[in-house]
Structures are given as structure tokens and as C-alpha cells.
A and B are shown apart, each in its own frame.
Chain A
């Protein structure tokens, strides 16, 4: 039995679309990973049941509301609280004690999507008694994801998994004490996000805006090509204080970038580097 094949998209189509978006809306996707970008566009055409690639181009050029939806769909917002518990265990046991020595702690979550990881960090800082002297900047290019992050309301169905992650990451409290269950949602304690600043920031086009002791950027660089990865890593390097930490996703690496010689990977298999030069 043959299944209907989806609309065939050529490399040229993708280039035209990227050009349209850049000219009309200022978002630059030209140095995104072509392989991932293609998948996002194929998915968009399927879920929106578009009849042709031309229809997509037309709507992107002429309908700002539709374009907002396109940005939302292109950016991958799949995330979870305390994703990779082993990673957060190292943050808890090895990085937070270093952060504790600073009079004022500044952390940047670059590409925070719907914010699950920034709330995770706020919980760890709170448990270390450091949240009062911390500021967490959570940025993303996707305004709809940021709006969700700001609310701190996540599906209740995820809490069992998050609670398990929390314990695996060395948590000893009752995870459910951090949220109030309300129908199908878990609403996180507003004291957690008092110290979080949510802001729109595009890693492709925007500059460094502060200096930090810790930058998280997990599973964001995978969507970029190598040139853009290198540019963004330089942006992080410019934004990171000497002795600061850079934390990436489990399959991301700085080894081929120009900043690599200035960084040393800390213990374990986790992708955390310290700025040593």
C-alpha cells in the first residue's frame, strides 16, 4: 500500500524561504542546520495541511500572525525539568558550591524555551540558600515559549517524571512542595521566578548583554551549523566571567570551536566547561 508522499522540498525552496523570512521579518535562519530546518518546515506543512510550498511562502510573506506561528513551530521547545539528572547532580555538587563564593550570582539560560530548566536551577539555588542573591536571565527568540515560561505552569502529567529526575539529581525535599496542582496543571511557586528575568533574545542576531558566572545553553546549538555554533560560542565567551562555567547539551561539544583552547572540561562525562583563560 502506497502512502501519499508529502510535498517534496528542494534545497532551493529552503533558501528562498529563508531569504523571504529574513527580508520580511528580520529573523535569520540561514546558518541553522539545514537538516533540522528542513524537518521543521516539513512538519509545518503537514500540521497546517498546506497545499504547496508556494502557499507557505505566500503566507509567511503576507501574514504576520501566521509568521508568529511559524517561529513557534520552527523553534524546538521540547524540554523537561532537571533533564539529564546526572548533569544536575554535578551542578548541585560541584558548581553551586563555587557560585556560593560570589557576593552576587548571575546565570544565563540561553534558549530557555518554555523554561523548565531555569525553574530547575532556581530550585537548586533555593535549596542551597543562594536564590536570594542570584539573578537568572532566561532568554529565547520565541515569544510564545517565553510567555509560557514566565507563567511557570507545566502539565501535571509530567510531574512524576520530574520528581524522579529531581531525586536522581540528588534532591531530598518533597518535589511536590514546589508547585500547586490545579486540574491538569502544576503551577510553580512564584517565589521561584521572582529572581528570573525573562527576555526575548536571538542568539543569531543579538549581542552580549551582561556578564555571568554560569551560562546554560542546552540542546540549542544542535540546531545551528558549525559557523553559527562558533559565533554563538564566542558570544558566550564574551559573556562569561573568568572561571565561569559553560554548560551545553549531552551531545554538544566546543572542541571544534575557536574558544576551545580557553576552556577545560570539568569532571565526568557531562558537557560542562570552565573558562580558564
Chain B
């Protein structure tokens, strides 16, 4: 399982990563982006234009399928119910965010343990740092976009301060890193 989290300034990198995944890439990818809760939820449609993988916005208890990109819906937290399905949650915001990247990283770590890769991108908020820390404790792999390259460096910086990372990479490095699991 791969989870990619980001906030302000991360969308272009998400486009880049998805555009470079080959059609045969079969590890499910979950995208957690901070979004305007009152905006239209067109993100999945937008991402679908950038990749050959199929893209879905998650509904409650959505089954997890290979080779699919899952977009977390706005204004819900996304959790993993088990290895085969998601569960949504409308509880309090975490780090002023719903969806919160921490919440999805943590839940992923509970379910997938070391079979989890979490990637944290650009953003102006500290969400994701605690989650990365927890993922590492559960033996998952963590990657942070290098703050020098990230459009808004605060989020990756916070992650490096509090969460720590196995790899700090530029976007092409992140791409290569992902592809070694293909």
C-alpha cells in the first residue's frame, strides 16, 4: 500500500508521480490532500486525466483493488477498515484538517505494518509529521519530499523535525523509489 499526503503546493507533484506510473503498476495508491470542504469534489476526475491507472474517490467501505488510485473525499477522514476496504470518519478535525494526513498514515500503519510506503509532499501545515513517526514505529517506509524542492517547505520540514524519514528525495527520486516496488 502506498499513501501520498500533501497540502498547499503538492498537486503538481501528485500529477507528476501518477503520470509516471506504468499501466501495470498494481500497488494501490491513496492520495490524501487538504482540500476546500465546500469546493466541488472534482479532484478524482482531474487526476484521472493525468494517469492510465483507474482513479476513484473513496466512498464508505469502498473495496481496495490492485492497480487503483484512491482519492480521499473532502471533509472526511479516511481510515483502513482492514486490508481489503476503507472506512470513512466524520470526527473532529486533526491539525485543522479533515481529511488529516496523520489519521490516514496511522490507520494504514495499523493495518499494513511494514507493507506500507508513506510519502509526504509540500504544505503549509504540520499534518503528516506525527503520522510518519508512527508509520516508522510500525516498520513502514517513509519518504519526504526534499524541502529545498517542495513548493511550500513547511510540511516536509516539520516531518523531518518530528517525524523523521527513511528517504528525503527530490520528485524524480520519489518516482524512482516508488517504481522499485512495481
Q: Which residue of A lies closest to B57 (CB)?
A: A251
B134/A5 in contact, CB under 8 A: yes
Q: Which residue of A lies closest to B111 (CB)?
A: A35
Q: Write the B40-78 contact mask toward A (1 if CB under 8 angstroms, else 0).
A: 000000000000000000111100000000000100110
A56 proximity list for chain B (CB < 8 A): none
Q: Tell me whether A221 is interfacial, beta carbon within 8 Å.
A: yes
Beyond A1-B161, A39-B103, A222-B88: 10 further Cβ-contacts under 8 Å? A1-B162, A34-B81, A35-B111, A38-B110, A39-B79, A76-B90, A222-B76, A226-B85, A251-B76, A251-B88
**Chain A residues proximal to chain B, CB less than 8 Å:** 1-3, 5, 33-36, 38-40, 43, 76, 78, 219, 221-223, 225-226, 229, 249-253, 256
Q: Tell which of B89, B92, B130 touches A36, judged by Cβ atoms closer than 8 Å.
A: B89
A95 to chain B, nearest CB (A): 22
B77 proximity list for chain A (CB < 8 A): 39
Give the complex CA separation of A40 and B89 in angstroms: 10
Q: B interface, how many residues as a size bin? A: 20 to 34
A225 proximity list for chain B (CB < 8 A): 61, 81
A226/B61 in contact, CB under 8 A: yes
Q: List the 6 closest pairs (A to B, CB-CB), nearest first.
A: A35-B79, A219-B90, A33-B87, A222-B60, A35-B87, A76-B91
Give the complex CA separation of A125 and B133 in angstroms: 50
B73 to chain A, nearest CB (A): 5
A222/B87 in contact, CB under 8 A: yes
Q: Tell which of B73, B92, B103 touches A251, judged by Cβ atoms closer than 8 Å.
A: B73
B60/A221 in contact, CB under 8 A: yes
Q: Which of A35, A36, A226, A256 has the most chain B CB atoms inside 10 A of its CB?
A: A35
Q: List 8 A-B contacts (CB under 8 A).
A: A3-B133, A36-B79, A222-B76, A222-B88, A225-B81, A249-B60, A252-B60, A253-B59
A78 with B92: in contact, given A35-B107, A38-B110 (CB under 8 Å)? yes
B73 proximity list for chain A (CB < 8 A): 250-251
A116 to chain B, nearest CB (A): 13
A35 with B130: in contact, given A5-B137, A221-B60, A252-B60 (CB under 8 Å)? no
B80/A35 in contact, CB under 8 A: yes
A3 proximity list for chain B (CB < 8 A): 130, 133, 162
Q: Which residue of B lies closest to A255 (CB)?
A: B59
B87 proximity list for chain A (CB < 8 A): 33, 35-36, 222
